[in-house]
Amino acid sequence: MTVAEALDALLGSDRTGDMRADLIAGAREAMARRERNTEHGGTVIAALRETGASWRDIEQATGIPRTTAQRWAEPPERAEA
């Protein structure tokens, strides 16, 4: 993948043509997506646990390591305590 392809995927038509500004905007967008995906993924993993799935079941079905799944599914207010 080239930098141009990555920026197109992250920014689409929002690219400015200023390479440095686009790189910064692309990095920010990548981080924002990561945070959203972690939050959304954690909600889904927590729901899987509520259906009775074990951490091992989740790991085998999703490919997400159980320690990652456990961390994502832990509500932030409990994780910080």
**pLDDT at residue 27 in the model:** 97
79 pLDDT more than 70: no
Q: How far apart are CA 51 and CA 31, in angstroms?
A: 30
Q: What confidence tens digit (pLDDT) does each residue in 23-78 have? A: 999 999 999 999 998 889 999 999 999 999 999 999 999 999 999 999 999 865 55
**pLDDT at residue 29 in the model:** 96
Domain residues of the chain, as ranges? 3-79
59 touches 65 (CB < 8 A): yes
User: Residue 33 has which token pair?
Assistant: 């997506």
28 φψ region: left (φ > 0), alpha (ψ -120 to 50), beta (else): alpha
22 pLDDT more than 80: yes
Contacts with 52 (C-beta within 8 Å, 6 or more apart), sequence order: none
Quick one: how far is CA 18 from the chain centroid? 27
**The residue to which tokens 């690219």 are assigned:** 15
- Provide the whole-model pTM: 0.70
